[in-house]
Structures are given as C-alpha cells and as structure tokens.
Amino acid sequence: MTILTGSGVGIQFGERWLYQDVAFKLEKGRVLALIGDNGVGKTTLLRAILGQLELTAGELDWQIDAKNRMISYVPQYRPDMQAFPLKVTDFVSLSFDKGILPWLKAAEKERLQHVLADTHLTKIANARIDTASGGERQRAYLAQALVQNPNVLILDEATANLDNVAKYELMNVVRDYRDHHDLTTIMVSHDLDIIGKYADDYLLLTPNGSEFGPIDQLDMTKLKVGNQDHA
C-alpha cells in the first residue's frame, strides 16, 4: 500500500530551484533512503513532508488524512546535546501527552515497556540518560519516536557520529520493529553501507533530475559520498 506519493515536486528559494519534477512513492512497511549531495535539499524535502514548508511545484498526496497521521523524527546524534538529568524511561516517556511516568495511563505504561524492550533499553531503563553511551542515547531517541506509534518514522542522519557497533544496532532495531509492526521509514543518510543494507527503495535528489526505484537499482558510483555520515 502506498502511503505517500510525490509527483512533480519542485522547491525554489529565490531564483534557485533545488530540484524539479521529483517523483516517488513511500510504501507501507518499506524503508525509503533519501540521498544526494550535501546541500541538495534532503532536509528541505523532509520539512515539506512534515508539513512545515510549501512546495513550489507539484504535490505530496497522502493516503492517511492529516488528523490520523503521526510522523516521528529521530535527529542526528550530537554528543554535546544530551545532558538531561533524567532516567532513560522518563526521557522516552516525554513523548506521551502527560510526560513523566506516574501520570501515564496503564496502556501507555505497557506501550513504554514494549518499546524499551524493542529498543534494547530495558536493562538501563532506570539509569540516567546522561550516563548512557552514544548508541544507547540514540536508541532512547528512537524509543521516544516509536512510543508515538508513528505511521512514518524519519531517521535524519540518525546513524551519523555513532561507532560501527552502535549504528548497526540502531538500524537492526528499526528493521526488527518494521518486521513486527509494518513500520514505514524515510532515512536520510550519506552512509552507503547502511543504505545498501537497510533501505528497500531510494530517492536520489540532484539539481538535474531525481531518481526513484528499488535499492538494488541504485548505481552507488553516482554518489559523491563516502561510507560515513557527515556531522
């Protein structure tokens, strides 16, 4: 089932078109890799998908109406940004309407426990997040996104700045969660290993035309990127 269809998408700032005639489909339960050179406009397209920016041309046609649509977002890991004096479990439950644990409904508490288990955080649920490793903190951000039960998960260079073990652990959690919950994901990444291993489809943005297709049709030599995300 197609969740979102982009057709004739174009974005222009001033005189400059970032891209025109972009076409893609986001299919339920699949991982779409959004790729292209630095500055091509990947984040800008995400902002349009999140409803924060109007397209200059074309359409984003959703199959889920706006009031039932939940899009969750996992940002890039930044070692300097996460000095919260909160337990992991409280940090994850900040996503719920009422925040920290004693006020959560029974169903929310149960959901929280499932997501902590799915993201391999149960053992450190009561440890403080500022003592957790980079990989654990990034999985806590993922857990925060997943407790919202999203229709679409956005990973915005979410494996950047993580070591090899942590980045594959994060993506394995996403894949296992997808396999059990039919989660749909858009992943922005410059990491060719991660893209090749975890994406199902790709959308390559360039100023001279976009390409969309199954990941095994992507010619990786077209990408000017290395195998690491940039900060």
Ligand X SMILES: Nc1ncnc2c1ncn2[C@@H]1O[C@H](COP(=O)(O)OP(=O)(O)OP(=O)(O)O)[C@@H](O)[C@H]1O
Footprint on this chain of ligand X (rule: CB under 6 A): 13, 18, 36, 38-44
Kindly state the smallest distance separating residue 65's Cβ from ligand X, in Å.
27
Kindly state the smallest distance separating residue 54's Cβ from ligand X, in Å.
11
Closer residue to ligand X (CB): 119 or 189: 189
Closer residue to ligand X (CB): 43 or 122: 43
Kindly state the smallest distance separating residue 37's Cβ from ligand X, in Å.
7
Structure tokens belonging to residue 141: 């951000």
Closer residue to ligand X (CB): 34 or 115: 34
Closer residue to ligand X (CB): 42 or 137: 42
C-alpha 86: how far from chain center: 24
Q: Please answer whether residues 154 and 76 qualify as being in contact, where contact means their C-beta atoms are separated by less than 8 angstroms.
A: no
DSSP 108: H
Rounded distance, CA 20 to CA 42, Å? 13
Kindly state the smallest distance separating residue 36's Cβ from ligand X, in Å.
6
52 Rama sector, left if φ>0, alpha if ψ -120 to 50, beta otherwise = alpha
